[in-house]
Structure 1
Amino acid sequence: MIPNNSFIIRDATIDDVQSIRDIYCHYVREETCTVELAEPSLEEFTSRFNHIVVNERNPYYVATTTIKTPGDSDSSQTETTVIAGYAYIHLFNSRSGYKYTCEDTIYLNPAFKGCGLGALMLKRLITVATKMGYRQMIGCTSTNNEQSGRLHTKHGFQYLHKINNIALKFGQWIGVEYYQLALGEGDSNLPTSPIIPYDPTSNYI
């Protein structure tokens, strides 16, 4: 298991999109945490990235770590930095009345599951979303993604409800489950300021 302090979480850049897409496409091909059936092209995935970062001005992170691989000789090793996962928040709904509610998305390179990285990235999203002024965060998981459900409840999300059998993938029906976390002052009062657009140069942590 890789210790948590071995990961560096930073803002994603356009140069990371290929690696981010590679992680996502694994889940398209192999798992049901996304019900997308065909791998998006690099052009399409770049458009999705830009929509979050440029249009919505929301945070998009990658977690990197260094792995060692055998070198040319028996005693040498080569260090390579890889993207172990990515995470971002996006608007829960594009209708303007939902502007204080965001939704989290986290995907990990399968090689780095089970080492606490998902928790690190979710904590980062919660912290930053709160400082931006969001009042609610929604988590949406497929019904057979128990690990994601546990991650959300562990970090204070309340389980809301399940919608059964609304998607079809790999010859099986799949439902979705929704979780909700109040951020900052939640619904205790009405916001007096708009959401502060994400600024990569600001110190949110």
Structure 2
Amino acid sequence: MIRHATPLDAAAIAAIYNAAVRETTAIWNEVEVDAENRVAWMNARAAEGFPVLVVEEEGSICGYASYGPFRAFDGYRATVEHSVYVRADKRGGGRGRALLTAVIDHARTAGRHVMVAAIEAGNAPSIALHEKLGFARVGVMAQVGQKFGRWLDLALLQLVLDDRPQP
């Protein structure tokens, strides 16, 4: 079941986030967060009209997704960047696809025009999932990040959400 997150989900969201910080190159951050931090993050998202969605199975949060501003300048207001994270033991079962589809649908309903995906270039499963859902590769930025003592490349993909000829 996919639903909007509540503060009661914050500890589970923090645990998924922190595992990605410690174990993957999906998040280019080295600082872990706590439930209070995630509640503040969810409140900030909600204040701007952005969702935080969770996938719940048998009372357990298996993953979460959100989107927010792509860049802070007015000219980018119709463009958003998303994040999707699934607990390691629940990957590969369609949960990431379901969450990504849900945030795409939310962004379309909210009148957004483009959704950007910024993915560590070596994350072939994530890139493949995005392409299956219609995202197009638009570039790779070489060595723009670092983690675990190595440089990371950033693959950029985008999905045009509507066919408006003008904003």
TM range (shorter): over 0.9
Paired residue secondary structure (1:139): strand
The reply on whether 1:65 has 2:41 as its aligned counterpart is no
**CA distance, structure 2, for counterparts of residue 89 and residue 38 of structure 1:** 20
Q: Which runs of 5+ in 2 are unaligned?
A: none
Amino acid at match of 2:66: Y
Q: CA deviation at 1:92?
A: 0.8
**CA distance, structure 1, for counterparts of residue 13 and residue 114 of structure 2:** 26
Bigger proportion of residues as helix: 2
**CA distance, structure 1, for counterparts of residue 94 and residue 44 of structure 2:** 28
**CA distance, structure 2, for counterparts of residue 168 and residue 16 of structure 1:** 30
Bigger Rg, structure 1 or 2:
1
TM-score (norm 1): 0.78
Q: How many residues in Structure 1 have an aligned counterpart in Structure 2?
A: 167
* Matching residue within 142, 162, 165 for 1:184: 162
Question: RMSD of the alignment, in Å?
Answer: 1.2
Q: CA deviation at 1:98?
A: 0.7
Q: Which runs of 5+ in 1 are unaligned?
A: 1-7, 67-80, 192-205
> Which residue in 1 is equivalent to 2:132?
154
Q: CA deviation at 1:38?
A: 1.8
Alignment map for 1:1-205 (pairs within 5 Å):
8-54=1-47, 56-66=48-58, 81-185=59-163, 188-191=164-167
Q: CA deviation at 1:25?
A: 0.2
TM-score (norm 2): 0.95
Q: CA deviation at 1:42?
A: 3.4
**CA distance, structure 1, for counterparts of residue 123 and residue 43 of structure 2:** 27
**CA distance, structure 2, for counterparts of residue 125 and residue 107 of structure 1:** 12
Q: CA deviation at 1:90?
A: 0.7
CA offsets, 1:146-170, max 9 Å, x none?
A: 1111111110001010111122211
Contact 2:10–2:36 under 8 Å retained in 1: no
**CA distance, structure 2, for counterparts of residue 110 and residue 148 of structure 1:** 13
**CA distance, structure 2, for counterparts of residue 59 and residue 41 of structure 1:** 19
**CA distance, structure 1, for counterparts of residue 128 and residue 44 of structure 2:** 29
Percent identical: 31
CA offsets, 1:55-97, max 9 Å, x none?
A: x11111000002xxxxxxxxxxxxxx10010001111112111
**CA distance, structure 2, for counterparts of residue 62 and residue 37 of structure 1:** 23
Q: CA deviation at 1:49?
A: 2.0
Amino acid at match of 1:63: V
